[in-house]
Amino acid sequence: MTSHPALPALAELYALQEKTFHDFHSACAPGCALCCTRNVIITSLEAEYILSHINTETAEKISAAAKTDPALPRLHPSLSLNSMAALYMDGKNPPEDEADPSWWPCPLLDTSNKKCTVYTHRPMACRCMISKTRCDTSDAAEMEEVQVVLHTLFLQATEHLDAEGRSGNLLDLLMETSFPGSMNSSMPQNRKIPMLMIPPAFQQKLRPTLEEIHRIFNIASKK
């Protein structure tokens, strides 16, 4: 199978996210895994990125999880993030999808040590999820407003790179990418960014990051 031409751009976007979040204080550490639920949403491009880097053992674990636990409750998004942004542009509210934090663990989590088996190649939703305090003491992540804004920005950019693809639950998209037609659940179509969901107070502050994201978009468009 020919690899997606935007994979190098996705890797660059991941590197930019890491650089942007580097100086934020984070209480996250190996073994802290409350956020590793079955509610992680990824794009089809990210699914391909993960699958191109995992070992046989992890691939078998994903397949086993889909076959033995197909009915396990998990988040099934009805719209992609950029489609939600389009609704906000029109003054409409997107539908609320059911997502329970007790839907744990993620199929890629090694529950024996509470470490991610694909940590180096984890999706953007996981990369941006940080907390100033340990979640096991408050049952929730504590993030600064700028971190929340950046989280949304990088997720919008990730979808933009895969505008012809789909968004969906991590397990569903990994299985569908590995075995096309294997998942019955419908997954929403991605789209390019219709509007950046950045509050006016942060637009100037985040301009350098936006310029870097546009540079990555330009590289991807030339592939």
For residue 70, the model assigns a pLDDT of 64
Question: Could you tell me which of 217, 184, 166, 191 has the C-alpha nearest to residue 41?
Answer: 166
Question: Could you tell me which of 122, 163, 158, 223 has the C-alpha nearest to residue 13?
Answer: 158
Confidence check: pLDDT of 81 > 80? yes
Confidence check: pLDDT of 174 > 70? yes
Average pLDDT of the segment spanning 2-27: 94
Q: What percent of the chain has pLDDT over 90?
A: 72
What is the rounded distance in angstroms from the CA atom of residue 147 to the CA atom of residue 22? 11
Average pLDDT of the segment spanning 113-119: 95
Return the structure tokens found at 119: 């940590």
What does pLDDT average to over the chain?
92
CB 57 within 8 A of CB 159: no
- 117: pLDDT confidence band, cut at 50, 70 and 90? very high
Q: What dihedral angle (degrees, nearest 10) is formed by the CA atoms of 158, 148, 116, 159?
A: -10
For residue 71, the model assigns a pLDDT of 73
Q: What is the number of other CB atoms lying within 10 angstroms of the CB of residue 223?
A: 10
For residue 182, the model assigns a pLDDT of 76
Average pLDDT of the segment spanning 115-144: 91
**222: part of which helix (H) or strand (E)?**
none
Confidence check: pLDDT of 150 > 90? yes
Return the structure tokens found at 76: 């099934």
- Higher-pLDDT residue of 45 and 57 is 45
What is the rounded distance in angstroms from the CA atom of residue 223 to the CA atom of residue 221? 6
Question: Could you tell me which of 148, 181, 162 has the C-alpha nearest to residue 42?
Answer: 162
Average pLDDT of the segment spanning 85-90: 98
Cis bond leading into 95, ω under 30°? no
What is the rounded distance in angstroms from the CA atom of residue 57 to the CA atom of residue 79? 32
Average pLDDT of the segment spanning 174-192: 87
- Higher-pLDDT residue of 181 and 76 is 76
For residue 219, the model assigns a pLDDT of 85
Instruction: Of 44-48, 60-64, 129-133, 185-189, give the range with the top mean pLDDT.
Output: 44-48
What is the rounded distance in angstroms from the CA atom of residue 100 to the CA atom of residue 98? 7
Confidence check: pLDDT of 66 > 80? no
Confidence check: pLDDT of 89 > 60? yes
- 170: pLDDT confidence band, cut at 50, 70 and 90? very high
For residue 3, the model assigns a pLDDT of 86
